[in-house]
Amino acid sequence: MVCKISDLRARMRANQRLIGLWCSLGSATAVEALSTIPYDWFLLDMEHSPNELGDIIDQMRVLDSSSVAPMVRPPCNDRVLIKRMLDAGVKNFLFPYVQSVEEAREIVRATRYPPAGVRGVSVAGRAAWHGTRPNYLQEAGDEIAIGIQIETLEAFGAIPGIAALPEVDMLFFGPADLSADMGMLGQADHPEVRAQIVRGIEQVRTHGKMAGVLAPNLEAAGVYAQAGAQFIGIGSDLGSLRAQAQNLLNAAGQFTA
């Protein structure tokens, strides 16, 4: 099998609690090492990291032999880039900075073949096992998970319409950009930001969709889980690396005391 069939969308639609890790180091080796830990998903980031599509393919390849599902965040919501990512085997997407229902609708169309959408037709890529996957053209849309990021106050107003799109599986709140939009740059865990996200999570759940969030810390993750978030990012590869290295250095201070 060239790339594994993804069950993340089915797990999302079953409303399972799914815990993930942000991966922005651009290292397939780091992703492979971390995949020995049973997270539900890794977010392979192209928006705020130097990952290019070839790097993402390498990271997805190492995850093919693990239980961790790769989700990819594109650098922008461009239909040509989305087409290339789909052909390369990306099945689970987190689309950044979506501001309106129309933008979300166009994203959905970019992930579907005609007549439901505008995705260009090809079976040459990894997604179709280089032309050997039976019925790929007919079944591809069933496997694609779509997460939409809500990162501004304006986007909060679009939540009902975005949640009403049947192809959208999850609405995901980004505390960093939201805090900036609220005039609190760098204060992702400010009480007002947290309260706004809690209201958003409750609204998403009212409309019958999965709510997700990247929590600034574990205490915040607990608050968001209590509010109804089921798709929760609890840290990053970079943060984990730095924290453990700092902890080791702090502990080594006893040798020089």
Q: 98-139, pLDDT tens digit by residue? A: 999 999 999 999 999 999 999 999 999 999 999 999 999 999
Q: Evaluate if residue 181 carries a pLDDT over 90.
A: yes
pLDDT score at 155: 98
Return the residue matching tokens 């050997």.
Answer: 132
Each residue's pLDDT tens digit, 142-151? 999 999 999 9
Segment (H or E) for 241: helix 237-252
Question: Is the Cβ–Cβ distance between 169 and 209 less than 8 Å?
Answer: yes
- pLDDT tier at 58 (50, 70, 90 boundaries)? very high
| Residue 112 neighbours by CB under 8 Å, 6+ apart | 118, 119, 141, 167
Mean pLDDT, residues 31-37: 97
Q: Residue 45 carries which DSSP code?
A: E
Q: Evaluate if residue 257 carries a pLDDT over 80.
A: no
Output helix, strand, coil percentages for the chain, rounded to the nearest 5. 45, 15, 40
CATH superfamily of 8-154+163-249: Phosphoenolpyruvate-binding domains (3.20.20.60)
Catalytically active residues are: 48
pLDDT score at 3: 87
Q: What predicted TM-score, i.e. pTM, was given to this entire model?
A: 0.95
